[in-house]
Amino acid sequence: MPATVLVVGGAGFIGSHTCVELLQHGYEVVVVDDLSNSSPHSLERVAKIADTAVPVLYVMDIRDRSALSEVFRAHPIEAVIHFAAKKAVGESVGMPVEYYDNNVGGTTALVSAMREHGVRRLVFSSSCSVYGNAVKVPLTERDPVAPTNPYASSKWLCEQILTDVCRRVPGMNVLNLRYFNPVGAHPSGLLGEDPRGVPVNLMPYMSRVAHGRLARLRVFGDDYPTVDGTGVRDYVHVMDVAEGHRVALQHLDDEAGMRTFNLGTGVGSSVLQLIAAFEDATGRRIPYDVTDRRPGDVAALVADPTAVNRAWNWSTSRDLAAMCRDAWHFQSRNLAGYAD
């Protein structure tokens, strides 16, 4: 019998790419998603790429404890990957209660259901934003955390809750993955990032400017202490992130308890460098204006990926050109996102 993995938030950007990777490696996938930031069509695309049936989807909020219990009763779930969260940093500043409620409340509901049903393996989506204003880059997992906004704080709270749960519940194994900046799309052009409304993140915004759906890109500040004054991030291809989750599942039982890993490439790129890479990879021009800094933003966040490289004998393999090319391929083939 293939192992069954519950993918919470599996209709979303990273979740859907991870579903492809799992299905292609023989896992059974069950998805829970309230579709608050995604479309069920993503799972149809997943099935098309993986050449399988469409994964079972439960459209529900994970904070609905009785509905969640039903899902665990209905399937022989061996491991859970928890992607479900609200993730817009700026929005989180304006609605902290909703962010804590969804991200922290969702995680406690999920962990309660796992405990109730004897499921002890979890991969958790954390974020490099827990490091806050990094004093130096690249960052190792031992560097201090200092969240600067409610979104990042909600991730840090979840990490602390999961640490405590692992101490208390025998046999509970959690891999806590701090993603840097996942971008790009499946190379088929069928699956990609299709956020509801106007994108807040750089790559999807830039792809829509390239296409003409949005007029100009705003570069948020050019007075940071970085290579060219614009913000530096560690962009990582979503297919590498998806592959990383499949590899993580194989390493959940390596050690007991909670373990934290950075998931990034170790390469930092500024906003202007990303624009140049996008223009090179796609042949499209990106008109932009430099504006004020965006509240809550930090200067530079780059991963030191050594720990994950050593622990799993695995590393990311796709470069910035592939990230830009694949993001653009998806955008140009799906002018109105999955609605097409």
- Give the phi and the psi of residue 176 in degrees, each rounded to 5: -100, 110
Please state, in angstroms and rounded to a whole number, the distance separating the CA atoms of residues 37 and 195. 6
Instruction: Give me the least distance between CB of 290 and ligand NAD, in Å please.
Output: 22
What the block records as the tokens of 257 is 């308890």
Q: Which is nearer to ligand UD1, 101 or 222 (CB)?
A: 222
Which of 49, 88, 267, 302 touches ligand UD1 (CB under 6 A)? Answer: 88
Contact between 330 and ligand NAD (CB under 6 A)? no
For residue 188, how many C-alpha atoms fall within 13 Å in the half-sphere facing its CB?
13
Contact between 37 and ligand NAD (CB under 6 A)? yes
What's at 86, amino acid-wise? K
Which of 3, 35, 95, 290 touches ligand NAD (CB under 6 A)? Answer: 35
Is beta strand 269-270 parallel, antiparallel or unpaired with respect to 232-233? antiparallel
By 3-state DSSP, what share of the chain in percent is helix, strand and coil, each rounded to 5?
40, 20, 40
Is beta strand 181-183 parallel, antiparallel or unpaired with respect to 269-270? unpaired
216 close to 290: Cβ distance less than 8 angstroms: no
Please state, in angstroms and rounded to a whole number, the distance separating the CA atoms of residues 29 and 95. 32
Contact between 261 and ligand NAD (CB under 6 A)? no
Q: Which is nearer to ligand NAD, 11 or 281 (CB)?
A: 11
Instruction: Give me the least distance between CB of 71 and ligand NAD, in Å please.
Output: 11
Which of 6, 7, 9, 232 touches ligand NAD (CB under 6 A)? Answer: 9
Strand partners, 124: 82, 176
Instruction: Give me the least distance between CB of 308 and ligand UD1, in Å please.
Output: 17
Q: 320: part of which helix (H) or strand (E)?
A: helix 320-333
Q: Which is nearer to ligand UD1, 87 or 121 (CB)?
A: 87
Contacted by 38, from ligand UD1, ligand NAD, none: CB < 5 to 8 Å by type: ligand NAD
Which of 55, 132, 150, 182 touches ligand NAD (CB under 6 A)? Answer: 182
Which of 154, 181, 269, 282 touches ligand UD1 (CB under 6 A)? Answer: 181
Contact between 294 and ligand UD1 (CB under 6 A)? yes
Which of 10, 138, 231, 266 touches ligand UD1 (CB under 6 A)? Answer: 231
E strand residue ranges, 71-143? 77-82, 121-127
Contact between 129 and ligand UD1 (CB under 6 A)? yes
Query: Residue 288's closest CA among 231, 183, 214?
Result: 214
Contacted by 202, from ligand UD1, ligand NAD, none: CB < 5 to 8 Å by type: ligand UD1
Q: Which are the catalytic amino acids?
A: 151
E strand residue ranges, 184-231? 217-220
Which of 5, 13, 207, 338 touches ligand NAD (CB under 6 A)? Answer: 13
Residues whose CB falls within 8 Å of the CB of residue 48, separated by 6 or more in sequence, listed in order: 190
Determine the 3-state secondary structure of 237 from DSSP: strand
Residues in touch with ligand NAD (CB under 6 A): 9, 11-15, 32-38, 61-63, 83-87, 102, 106, 125, 127, 179, 181-182
Residues in touch with ligand UD1 (CB under 6 A): 87-89, 127-129, 152, 181, 200-202, 205, 217-220, 231, 233, 271, 294, 297-298, 301
